[in-house]
Chains A and B, each alone.
Chain A
Amino acid sequence: MQSRLRVGFARAIVPALAAAAFCLGSTALSAKTLVYCSEGSPESFSPAINTTGTSFDAARPVYDQLTEFKRGTTEVGPGLAESWDVSDGGKTITFHLRKGVKFHSTKDFKPTRDFNADDVLFSFNRQWKSDHPYFKVSGGKYDYFNDMDMPTLLDSIEKKDDYTVVMKLKEANVTILANLAMDFATIQSAEYADFLLKKGTPEQFDQVPVGTGPFSFVAYQKDAVIRYKANKDYWGDKALVDDLVFAITPDPSARYSKVKTGECHFMIAPRPADLPEMQKDPALKVINQPGLNIAYLAFNVKKPPFDKKEVRQALSMAIDKAAIIKGVYLGSGQAAKNFIPPTMWSYNDKVQDYPYDPDKAKAMLKAAGVATPLDIDLWYMPVQRPYNPNAKRIAEMMQADLAKVGVNAKLVTYEWGEYRKRMQNGEHITGQLGWTGDNGDPDNFFFLDGCTAARPGGQNISKWCDKEFDDRLNKAKTLADQNERAKLYEEMQVIEHDAAPNFLIAHSIVYETMRKEVVGFKQSPLGKHEFQGVDLK
């Protein structure tokens, strides 16, 4: 009896153990799957209504735009528009659309036609026209369309024929071509939108994306995973992996663990503290470049003594920038000397930064007639931003430096929305803020120091308005030749440096960590994560 039991037990347990061993040791399926450890769930899959980089990254594999940033650059090239003509002194742009571009299919929807001008009109009119049937779907907040001043810029968008779209502007502005390469200007399927409207589920449009991009959407499980598969019909260079998986992993330590163990091939946003260990790991590679951003301390030129440029220059020499980079950015920051980052075209490398020289600063303050001790306020953001990991700590370091030259800075902060509003109204004497570029165009940075933005409530928080600077800013917007524009921007950097309306702190350095087997990834100055052209060796 006992031996029969033993045999029976053995018969049952051996296959079970074998199955378990097989399962536990199972290897990857034959398809090539790239796993990207992303940091969070997207707000939706329609970039038009999204605001975060996480959401844009999640929608990007699926979609294309009329113009596109060349991979790893801020250079604008053709996308769904093969070419375009600029006429009427820069006020009319005629787009010639690519033919034979297929939209993806879903379980319910099979496209009956290729991409055409109707899709372009749909994608912009949804965000622009309040009577559009999709305008209010999913909340109707088109933040980027409005932030980029598209309603002010656009006069009309018309379909000339199925493959020609004419965009008329109210005034000449060449930066619109860069705007059109941004995620909010993604082209979505008008046919799919009609299909869902008839079905009575228009909100599904923003949850189950149908695009023309290199990957098609497969499935999304909130806070867990997003799956895509390579689009075999893609019009451009086809994806080099079969499947793309976004493993949503909000905690940076967990992301690092997953990359180390090979559960992910690529991770976003490593913790600065983990970087030295990552760089030593032979299974990993770490790349970096300065982000498209700037952190600065604005001097309110409307408030004495900051109306004198000598005072602003003196304070620029009183703060130890290197100590801030070392102590707060922990190696993830590059000292800024221009308002635009060095990865942007027209960056003027000839500009020499103000040296840290408290003695000279003291002497300059005296020469400018400033009686010390001078009481000022120094505002700092209550939140962490991509360009500024700890505004309070920076403020404390600045406060200590300024005290050495006889300036007593009182630290002030408010809730984020209130902070921004009060600064834009010019209530501060000095205050920290920063900027993250949207479209890779220098104008997208320099407008922050322009006269239009210096009005009360405007985004120029130093309220500095210089005719020489502003004339060049406005002229550059109307020039089609990039070299001519670059010349003007270089001159503007010299003017700005001399006037010192802001103490430029740093451009944060963006690190990307991946396993050694990942090849072909190009780091985007715009902070995008694009996996077209990426392979696993």
Chain B
Amino acid sequence: MLKYLFKRLALTIPTFVALMFVTFVAIRLVPGDPVEVRVGEHGISPERLAYFRHELGLDQPVWKQFLDYAWKILHGDFGTSLRTSQKVLTEFFTLFPATIELSLCAMLLAIALGIPAGVTAAVKRGSWYDQILMSTSVVGYSMPIFWWGLLLQMLFAEGWHLTPTSGRIDPINYYFEPVTGFMTIDALLSDQPGAFLDALRHLILPAVVLGTFPLAVIARMTRSSMLEVLSEDYVRTARAKGLSPLRVVGLHALRNALIPVVTVIGLSVGSLLAGAVLTETIFSWPGVGHWLIESISQRDYPALQGGVMIVSTFVILVNFGVDLLYGVINPRIAHGR
């Protein structure tokens, strides 16, 4: 197991370097200079342009800029944002909890609804429930996030006033300093009556919108995986032994059917973070998505490079964790055995 762990960790190092290189080169291939992009119709004198390019090291050959950057990364220095003059790490970790909170809630929602729905559809294969679930999941799978978000916003917030339209908490009634960056937790810690519920109300719509796609994927994957497992000999044996249907499905079948589902959940983390970019925009959710988009449009090289690398590392680590989970779910395929 330990050997496997080290091997997997060692494999992440070249992935990390490749990521660093690709991000570094890609942003430089986009036309536009980080100094000139902030200049409006006034323009900038060649002297001032040269001065700032020198200050930012942009007058160096690209390979040297890359080596300097890699050296700094090795020392934990992700640089300073060109837009705000703030440390990239500080900015990122101010915003990341919001993205994590949203993604986590969306994923929990998707798992909590997707797995039971998939299991039920498999057990009741061919029934009207199965038909409805499968066609609904196709809709959920193919629905554009932007359209879905705006639709829910118009119905639930503007039309029926059941939820707030956007943001993380009502700024008029509640104010407290962030402690963890997770609004729901900070609201609980604040001891302000109603703050936690208000934070939850703000979370509902974005979490539903972001969770719709993984929910559909998980439900479909659980169904197909369960169908496969339910036709296995050991399930028939369990039934023949007279075990209750709940025990057969819940204990014997589901556990084995979960392996591909867990894989899909792990892979969904990447798409979830990509979807968070749009969801954050629709619901004015102050996460890293909007920040990364602004970094691209402003050619904020350090912020973009740093942000992409940390998010990608996060996705790599989640998938690494998923790999380890296989062994927990099914000890027969525990790594290193």
**Chain A interface residues (CB < 8 Å from chain B):** 19-20, 22-24, 26-29, 33, 35, 40-41, 43-44, 49, 51, 138-141, 143, 146-147, 203, 206-207, 219, 221-225, 227, 245, 247-251, 253-254, 257-258, 260-261, 263, 385, 415-418, 420-421, 424, 433-436, 459
**Do residues A223 and B43 form an inter-chain contact, with CB atoms below 8 A?**
no
**Do residues A247 and B167 form an inter-chain contact, with CB atoms below 8 A?**
yes
CA distance A211 to B330 in the complex (A): 63
- Chain B residues closer than 8 Å to A227, beta-carbon distance: 171, 175
- Chain B residues closer than 8 Å to A35, beta-carbon distance: 171-172
- Contact for A250 among B31, B150, B177, B281, CB less than 8 A: B281
CA distance A206 to B164 in the complex (A): 33
CA distance A435 to B40 in the complex (A): 9
- Chain B residues closer than 8 Å to A261, beta-carbon distance: 157-158, 161, 164-165
**CB-contacts of B10-55 with A (<8 A):** 31-33, 36-45, 48, 52, 55
Q: Is B282 engaged at the interface, CB distance under 8 Å to the other chain?
A: yes
* With contact pairs A147-B42, A250-B290, A436-B40 given, residues A225 and B194 touching in the complex (Cβ less than 8 Å): no
- Chain B residues closer than 8 Å to A225, beta-carbon distance: 167, 171
Closest residue of chain B to A27 (Cβ to Cβ) is B173
Query: What are 25 A-B pairs with beta-carbon distances under 8 A?
Result: A19-B193, A24-B194, A24-B197, A26-B193, A26-B194, A26-B198, A29-B172, A33-B171, A35-B172, A43-B85, A51-B40, A221-B286, A222-B95, A224-B98, A224-B167, A225-B167, A253-B150, A254-B283, A261-B165, A416-B32, A417-B36, A417-B39, A435-B41, A436-B40, A459-B41
- Chain B residues closer than 8 Å to A51, beta-carbon distance: 38-40
**Do residues B166 and A249 form an inter-chain contact, with CB atoms below 8 A?**
yes
- Additional 15 contacts, C-beta under 8 A, given A41-B84, A254-B283: A23-B193, A28-B172, A40-B294, A44-B84, A140-B55, A222-B291, A225-B171, A227-B171, A245-B172, A253-B282, A257-B166, A258-B165, A416-B32, A420-B39, A433-B41
For residue B80, give the distance in angstroms from its CB to the closest CB of chain A.
Answer: 8
Q: Is B201 engaged at the interface, CB distance under 8 Å to the other chain?
A: yes
For residue B33, give the distance in angstroms from its CB to the closest CB of chain A.
Answer: 5
**Do residues B41 and A33 form an inter-chain contact, with CB atoms below 8 A?**
no
For residue B320, give the distance in angstroms from its CB to the closest CB of chain A.
Answer: 29
- Chain A residues closer than 8 Å to B178, beta-carbon distance: 221
Closest residue of chain A to B42 (Cβ to Cβ) is A147
Closest residue of chain B to A249 (Cβ to Cβ) is B284
CA distance A143 to B82 in the complex (A): 14
**Chain B interface residues (CB < 8 Å from chain A):** 31-33, 36-45, 48, 52, 55, 82-86, 91, 94-95, 98, 150, 153-154, 157-158, 161, 164-168, 170-173, 175, 177-178, 193-195, 197-198, 201, 281-284, 286-287, 290-291, 294
* With contact pairs A28-B172, A249-B167 given, residues A222 and B91 touching in the complex (Cβ less than 8 Å): yes
**Do residues B167 and A420 form an inter-chain contact, with CB atoms below 8 A?**
no
- Contact for B85 among A33, A206, A250, A254, CB less than 8 A: A206
- Chain A residues closer than 8 Å to B166, beta-carbon distance: 249, 254, 257-258, 263
Instruction: Please list the 4 inter-chain residue pairs (A to B) with the smallest Cβ-Cβ separation, ordered nearest first.
Output: A23-B194, A417-B36, A223-B286, A415-B31
* With contact pairs A224-B286, A434-B41 given, residues A263 and B164 touching in the complex (Cβ less than 8 Å): yes
CA distance A206 to B84 in the complex (A): 10
**Do residues B284 and A248 form an inter-chain contact, with CB atoms below 8 A?**
yes
- Chain A residues closer than 8 Å to B55, beta-carbon distance: 139-140
- Chain B residues closer than 8 Å to A206, beta-carbon distance: 85
Closest residue of chain B to A218 (Cβ to Cβ) is B175
CA distance A26 to B170 in the complex (A): 11
Closest residue of chain B to A207 (Cβ to Cβ) is B86
CA distance A416 to B164 in the complex (A): 39
For residue B218, give the distance in angstroms from its CB to the closest CB of chain A.
Answer: 28
- Chain A residues closer than 8 Å to B43, beta-carbon distance: 420-421, 424, 459
**Do residues B177 and A251 form an inter-chain contact, with CB atoms below 8 A?**
no
* With contact pairs A22-B193, A203-B85, A251-B282 given, residues A143 and B42 touching in the complex (Cβ less than 8 Å): yes
Closest residue of chain B to A414 (Cβ to Cβ) is B31
**Do residues B41 and A436 form an inter-chain contact, with CB atoms below 8 A?**
yes
Most buried by B among A206, A420, A434: A420
Closest residue of chain A to B284 (Cβ to Cβ) is A249
* With contact pairs A223-B290, A254-B283, A417-B32 given, residues A49 and B164 touching in the complex (Cβ less than 8 Å): no
For residue B87, give the distance in angstroms from its CB to the closest CB of chain A.
Answer: 9
**Do residues A146 and B48 form an inter-chain contact, with CB atoms below 8 A?**
yes
* With contact pairs A43-B84, A138-B85, A424-B43 given, residues A247 and B36 touching in the complex (Cβ less than 8 Å): no
Closest residue of chain B to A137 (Cβ to Cβ) is B85
For residue B274, give the distance in angstroms from its CB to the closest CB of chain A.
Answer: 18
For residue A278, give the distance in angstroms from its CB to the closest CB of chain B.
Answer: 13
- Chain A residues closer than 8 Å to B45, beta-carbon distance: 146
* With contact pairs A227-B175, A254-B165 given, residues A143 and B282 touching in the complex (Cβ less than 8 Å): no
CA distance A253 to B282 in the complex (A): 8
**Do residues A224 and B168 form an inter-chain contact, with CB atoms below 8 A?**
yes
Closest residue of chain B to A140 (Cβ to Cβ) is B55
Closest residue of chain B to A293 (Cβ to Cβ) is B41
- Contact for B42 among A140, A223, A260, A459, CB less than 8 A: A459
CA distance A250 to B195 in the complex (A): 24
CA distance A28 to B282 in the complex (A): 25
**Do residues A416 and B36 form an inter-chain contact, with CB atoms below 8 A?**
yes
**Do residues A29 and B85 form an inter-chain contact, with CB atoms below 8 A?**
no
**Do residues B283 and A219 form an inter-chain contact, with CB atoms below 8 A?**
no
- Chain B residues closer than 8 Å to A19, beta-carbon distance: 193
CA distance A24 to B44 in the complex (A): 53
- Chain B residues closer than 8 Å to A219, beta-carbon distance: 175, 177
CA distance A35 to B232 in the complex (A): 61
- Chain A residues closer than 8 Å to B150, beta-carbon distance: 253
- Contact for B194 among A22, A43, A258, A416, CB less than 8 A: A22
